[in-house]
Structure 1
Amino acid sequence: MTVVQGYNPRTGEPFGDPVPETTDDQVDALARAAAAAFPAWSGLPAAERADVLERLADALDGWAESLVAVADAETALGVPRLSGELKRTTNQLRLFAEVLREGSYVEAVLDSANPDTVPPRPVLRRLLRPLGPVAVFSASNFPFAFSVAGGDTASALAAGCPVVVKAHSAHPGTSRETARVVASVLPEGVFGIVYGTSAGVALVKHPAVKAVGFTGSTAGGRALFDLAQGRPDPIPFYGELGSVNPAVVLPGAAAARAEEVATGFAASLTLGVGQFCTNPGLLFAPESLVPALAAAVGGTTGGAMLNERMSDSYRSGTEELAASGLAKQVAAGSAPEEGFSAAPKLFEVPLEVFAENVEKLTEEHFGPAGVVVTYRDPAALPEVLRALPGTLTGTVHASDDEHELAGAVAAALAGVAGRLIFNGWPTGVAVAWGMHHGGPWPATTNPLHTSVGTTSIRRWLAPVTYQSWPDALLPPELREANPLGIPRRVDGVLGVH
């Protein structure tokens, strides 16, 4: 029997009991159970689904101490960080309960009949309906917020879709314990979990699964994306993949607050041992800022990465970059010698060299490594920025008298980034109505959608229009009297009517 074994990244030693990989027959049973549960779960009034999500949040909070202890042993992310992440996870569930009660997520539209248009318009009623069972792939770097009970699961459950999670191999014990809590709250069949790479493949291919959410590597995401598109019935695959998150420091900002910018960059770069999808791996700055940046990064301490594969990949990738002849290493922080450890590193490359080698120098080295691209003339930046691969974020640091230049830089970044930050750093993704956590390929497989925030629910819904149906046979959201009191667009006018 093949198993998934957890490890303590601080020591490299096995941790916890191994978890058996899920067989194809077990995947089939879980997917079929999700399909059987779909009519009742999707048909449950939104306010009642909201109540279930809040009960799930309360249950997870109740098990916080033991869940965090297991996660810390498997990820080495630390109790403070993991405690905050678990609270973020339960807050996500509560936020989606609010979304359900507010009701605008169904995008209800009511058009009256108009015989005078060409062609004549019948009575039309449109809303979004849940797709069906969803497969969710857990992320390695967020064992709570992007994993078993994380954002993809919360938004899919809110939409009315049962969920089958593929646990990440880096934290099988955390996944198993979290799944136990989730399953104790949700109705039978609404939630399931599988373990092992082959089980994940079988899940994507299963005909009962109608959409997939994924957070992970570009290579892994692309393979599963192709699998989802290659099915006899292709299904949506929403993947959050690689991102270098470029940041630009304009000359005025560099001159006025060099130390503040340098220390802020180093802190964001090395946060979580560089294992955030939004760490700023690419920095454009005047050459005068390099000494401060090097001092700041050189003064940081790395730590254990999530698993041995990531640690080895980080080490080989940064060594290859150093030997490439394109960039020179200008700083290195410290790191423990034991376990799956990684030391922060900073490299420097002139803008002209970078522009000629964009593809090679924008390869993501997952971990605390950054490349500073030095420039002489900021007017040359927009053209280079427009050539960057898709990314989750773009950041601009500017002084008060550089707003025109900052606007030009932002316009270039807006073509490649899903979120633009001004005089801040990209790490930290608020769970909110206005958040967009996405971007063009390879940041995501679909730049229209977000994996964080309330509109992430839109991924698991599809529109249905009812034409000329009697009012009594319509879903409550579309009935003339608006019995749920939700926002709707009636004859083109948006309001609660």
Structure 2
Amino acid sequence: MTITGEMLIGASAVRGTEDTFQAINPATGEALTPTFHGGGAADVDRACTLAEAAFDTFRATSPEQRAQFLERIADNIEAIGDELLQRANAETALPLARLTGERGRTTGQLRLFARLLRDGRWQSATIDSALPERTPPRPDLRMQKIAIGPVAVFGASNFPLAFSVAGGDTASALAAGCPVVVKAHPAHPGTSELVGRAIQKAVADAGLPEGVFSMVGGASIAVGTALVAHPAIQAVGFTGSRTGGLALTQVANNRPQPIPVYAEMSSINPVFLLPEALAARGETIARDLVDSLVMGVGQFCTNPGLLLAIEGPSLDKFRAAAVAAIGGKPAATMLTPGIHGAFTKGVAKLADINGLSQVGCGLEATGPNQARPAFFEASAQQFLADERMHAEVFGPSTVLVTCRNADDLVAVARAVEGQLTVTVQADAGDHALAARLLPTLERKAGRILFNGYPTGVEVCFAMVHGGPFPATSDTRTTSVGTTAIDRFLRPVCYQNLPADLLPEAVKDGNPLKLWRLKDGELGHA
């Protein structure tokens, strides 16, 4: 498959005229061919107009038709073969083994949403039968969820496949019946084009309207701003920085018709190291935590950026083991020069804070855009007094907060911002303290882990990858797992509709064989 540097607007490949840019190999600094041609407001308008024109036809497709469409996309991505992995490796410096796994996650979540569509529970079909003899009479009321409208999706820098053009936001929006316009990330435009063409082919092969999928691009923020501002767009999926997510949210809120922005933005993912666990296995926890910290050069939204423990001999042993482990970790190449620059500045800012000491670091960098792992420490009192210590540093950097007692530990838990994850390392003797912490942790995070490490997000039915602000812009939602489809659906109630006009999901006789709530009873009636 040839990479041309073009955008994909409906069934067409379009060479933008607003700007040109090239992908950069972060490991070498080399500019990669071809040159990409970014679009402008006219290109965005064309893509969004096609999406609006496709909406009613696409949302009227059956769940089975959309399930087969998602499976076609997965098959087409796999059919690209090693070319996709090699291009992604050149554009991101991510290892081929990691990218192979990420491709599997990408196709796996597409197929998971196909399974969800066939299951049918996502429609929340509900019937309250008429009660004409009641005073006052109750009308016949039936409810299902329908697609919200065309969706804008922004590709993420740190997952060029699983959170990008055919990632979870796109998969869940398409499953809901929403056309998608993707803003490709400029750091991996070749990878994005390859995947975009796989989706474009699936649209054509499925006989769907061309506006079901488009992909626009550009190195400036103008394309993304125009996309969110376009009146056809009814929701936005975004993974990236807090600055970027809040900027898009402001654009969405300032529209004549405001729309929801589902932005995953900022999280430092606290890890609570409780005393009995540290006493029993503190040195093992230290080594495993450092491995989690440097995984993917720390470029995971679930990276453990904050550690909390109570002072004592067990913490001393943990600290020594962690410093030794991080001291042997090599510097590694980050995704882009910009991300590396931000990491370097973030670590420097932490190093300048009074009361925050750097107690460990990794090996020196040996090449361009390499991040050296960093380990800082402060007391609970210092941490609570200076909010600069609470800031996310995207990369392999963490802060250990030492607490005098359980009260300090609870106070710090209450002070941190909203998080994607909170982890608790606890043995049986810690359960009373863990129970004291849990109500606060539930208020602070979307996912609470015990005796694990936050890096690694399973794509499944129960997963929540979301959390209170600033982890996400909407604490009620998740961007991973089947519940992600709810972001792009809305409920509609039908009152006293003639039987022949009712949607299939709520017709008498249950022709789709769905699980339905009928007169308060869950079943297949």
Normalised by the length of structure 2, the TM-score is 0.93
Change (3 A) 1:335 1:15: farther
Tell me if the contact between 1:4 and 1:19 (Cα under 8 Å) persists in the aligned partners. yes
**Which whole-Å deviations, capped at 9, do the CAs of 1:142-193 have from their partners, x for residues lacking one?**
0000000000000000000010000111111111111111111113111101
Change (3 A) 1:413 1:116: farther
Is 1:337 matched up with 2:361?
no
Q: Which runs of 5+ in 1 are unaligned?
A: none
Give the drift of 1:402.
1.4
Is 1:306 matched up with 2:335?
yes
C-alpha distance in 2, partners of 1:360/1:85? 33
Partner of 2:11: none
Is 1:92 matched up with 2:105?
no
Give the alignment of 1:38-437 within 5 angstroms.
38-115=55-132, 119-186=136-203, 187=208, 188-196=210-218, 197-286=221-310, 287-288=315-316, 289-357=318-386, 359-437=387-465
Partner of 1:6: 23
Change (3 A) 1:209 1:335: farther
C-alpha distance in 2, partners of 1:262/1:25? 53
Q: Which runs of 5+ in 2 are unaligned?
A: 1-17
Give the drift of 1:378.
2.2
Change (3 A) 1:474 1:90: same
Runs of 4+ residues over 3 Å off in structure 1: 115-120
C-alpha distance in 2, partners of 1:297/1:114? 69
Tell me if the contact between 1:270 and 1:302 (Cα under 8 Å) persists in the aligned partners. no
Tell me if the contact between 2:302 and 2:454 (Cα under 8 Å) persists in the aligned partners. yes
Tell me if the contact between 1:133 and 1:162 (Cα under 8 Å) persists in the aligned partners. yes
SS of the equivalent of 1:462 reads: strand
Tell me if the contact between 2:331 and 2:366 (Cα under 8 Å) persists in the aligned partners. no
SS of the equivalent of 2:149 reads: coil
Q: What amino acid maps onto 1:453 in structure 2? A: G
Partner of 1:30: 47
SS of the equivalent of 2:214 reads: strand
Task: Single out whichever of 115-124 and 240-249 deviates more from structure 2.
Answer: 115-124
C-alpha distance in 1, partners of 2:132/2:58? 39
Tell me if the contact between 2:309 and 2:409 (Cα under 8 Å) persists in the aligned partners. no
Give the alignment of 1:461-472 within 5 angstroms.
461-472=489-500
Give the drift of 1:296.
1.7
Normalised by the length of structure 1, the TM-score is 0.98
SS of the equivalent of 1:16 reads: coil
Is 1:481 matched up with 2:481?
no
Tell me if the contact between 2:273 and 2:307 (Cα under 8 Å) persists in the aligned partners. yes
C-alpha distance in 2, partners of 1:117/1:425? 56
SS of the equivalent of 1:72 reads: helix
Change (3 A) 1:480 1:335: farther
SS of the equivalent of 2:127 reads: strand
C-alpha distance in 2, partners of 1:117/1:360? 62
Identity of aligned residues (%): 48
C-alpha distance in 2, partners of 1:209/1:272? 33
**Which whole-Å deviations, capped at 9, do the CAs of 1:178-226 have from their partners, x for residues lacking one?**
1111111113111101112211111101111111000000001000001
SS of the equivalent of 2:517 reads: strand
Q: What amino acid maps onto 1:152 in structure 2? A: D
